[in-house]
Amino acid sequence: MGMLAGKVTLITGGAVGIGAAFARVFAAEGSDIALCDVRPEVIQYGVELRRAGVRAFGTVADVRSASDIKGFVERTVGEFGGIDIVVANAGVWRPTYPLADSWEKAVDDWDILVGTNLRGVFLTGRAAIPHLVARGGGHIINISTDHICPPEGTSTGGGTRMDIYDSSKWGINGLTQAWARVLAPHGVRVNALCMDATDSMMIRGAVGDRLTDDIVKTWMRPEQIAQLGLDLIAEGAEGRTGENIGAWLGHEVKLPARRVALPSRFG
C-alpha cells in the first residue's frame, strides 16, 4: 500500500502538465483523485486513471466560477467521502505591458489572470477547507512561481511583461500564510510550490514559435514538482506550514531546510 492509501486528492488544472503529473504521482501512492479543468480532456484523463485501477474522476470546471468550484468540491466529497489534499494548480499567463496595452486589454487581462491565478486558489481553498478540517487535518498545496521565491542572491519578480501575472501570484502568498496560521490548530498544513520553468501548456504557449526540443530539455519535468509535493506531505502532521518552496533550474529539486518560524506581530 502506498503512502497516500485511503486519501483523497483534489487537483485543479488537472488535465495536462503539472496538474496531471500530480494525479499520476499521487495515484501511484494510493490516493483517490478528483480532477477539474476548463479543458474537456480532463474527463478522458479521469477515465484513463479509472482503467488503471484508480478511484478517480475528471470534470470540466472553471476555477473563476464559485458555483463550478463549489460543485466540484461537493462532488468529490460525495463520491469519495471527503478531501485530504488540495493541489490548487490551475493557472494562466498572458503578456502584459503598462506602456503599450490598451485600457480594454489591461482590464481583460486583469480579469483573466487574477480571476484564474488568485481568485481560483481562493475559491478552491475556501470550498475545501471545511472538509479538510472535518477529516482532522490535511494539506493545501498552492502552485505559485519562482518570481516570488527566487534562488538566493537574486531579486524577486518576473519579466517586464508580467505585472499582472506577478500580482496574481503575490496574492497567493497572502492566502498561503494566512491560511497556514488559521488552520494549523486543525492539523491542516498550507504551503506553496514556487517553480522555475517547468514543462507545461502555459510555458509552451508563452514561448510560442521559439519553442524547440533543446529549450524543452532545459526545463524541469512536471513529475519533479509532483514529487516535491509528495515529499512535502511525507513530512507528516508536524511538517512545515506557511512556506514558499522554490524549485529552480540549475538546482537540485528538493525540499529545503525548514525555516525558523518568526513570531507574529499579531499574537
Q: Return the exposure string of 251-267: e unless at least 16 CB atoms fall within 10 Å of the residue's CB, then b.
A: eebebeeeeeeeeeeee
Cβ atoms < 10 Å from Cβ of 140: 27
Model's pTM, two decimal places? Answer: 0.96
Tell me how far apart the 2 most distant CA atoms of the chain are, in Å.
Answer: 56
Q: How far apart are CA 172 and CA 166, in angstroms?
A: 10
* Residue 38 DSSP label: S
Q: What is the domain-level CATH number for residue 108?
A: 3.40.50.720
**Mean pLDDT over residues 121-130, rounded?**
98
- Give percent of the chain above pLDDT 90: 91
* Bridge partners, 188 (sequence order): 138
* Residue 221 DSSP label: P
* 183 has pLDDT over 90: yes
Q: Which domain holds residue 35?
A: 8-247
Give 179-183's long-range contacts (Cβ < 8 A, gap of 24+). 179/125, 179/129, 179/140, 180/241, 180/242, 181/242, 181/264, 183/129, 183/132, 183/133, 183/140, 183/241
Establish if 262 belongs to a structural domain: no
Establish if 253 belongs to a structural domain: no
Domain count, the chain: 1
Establish if 91 belongs to a structural domain: yes
Establish if 252 belongs to a structural domain: no
Establish if 239 belongs to a structural domain: yes
pLDDT value at position 149?
96
Establish if 263 belongs to a structural domain: no
Q: How far apart are CA 249 and CA 243, in angstroms?
A: 20
Establish if 235 belongs to a structural domain: yes
Nearest to 85 by CA among 125, 120, 39: 125
Active site residues per annotation = 165
Establish if 3 belongs to a structural domain: no
- Between 263 and 33, the more confident residue is 33
Q: What does pLDDT average to over the chain?
A: 96
Q: What angle do CA 36, 41, 43 make, to 5 degrees?
A: 55
